[in-house]
Amino acid sequence: MENIVGFLPLIGAIVVFYLIIFIPENKRKKKFRAMLDNLKVNDEVMTRGGIIGSIVNIKDDYIIMQTGPNNVRIKLSKNGIATILDKNENSEIAK
């Protein structure tokens, strides 16, 4: 019985660690995966490297993105996308 009582703080620490670290991380991964699954042509996205452009074509594991004043096209892995930009947000910045 004393051995079990000695392990209670360790077990409690593991449970708290799980609740603080793993559950929020799994939620973040699910949200990111849903964002990648909902990509559409003409969505404006920002890459993890900070490049902003609009999606021209979507394939299985990658997208083709058009960016810049010369309409440069970049082939990019879907995992390289950081976020989808809101069009209303960009129009407010331009004002």
Residues 6+ apart with CB under 8 A from 9: none
How much of the chain, in percent, has pLDDT values that exceed 90?
A: 69
Mean of the pLDDT values across residues 44-70? Answer: 94
> What's the whole-number mean pLDDT along residues 16-30?
92
The three-state secondary structure class of 60 is: coil
pLDDT score for 88: 62
Instruction: Please report which confidence band the pLDDT of residue 89 belongs to, taking 50, 70 and 90 as the band edges.
Output: low
pTM for the model: 0.71
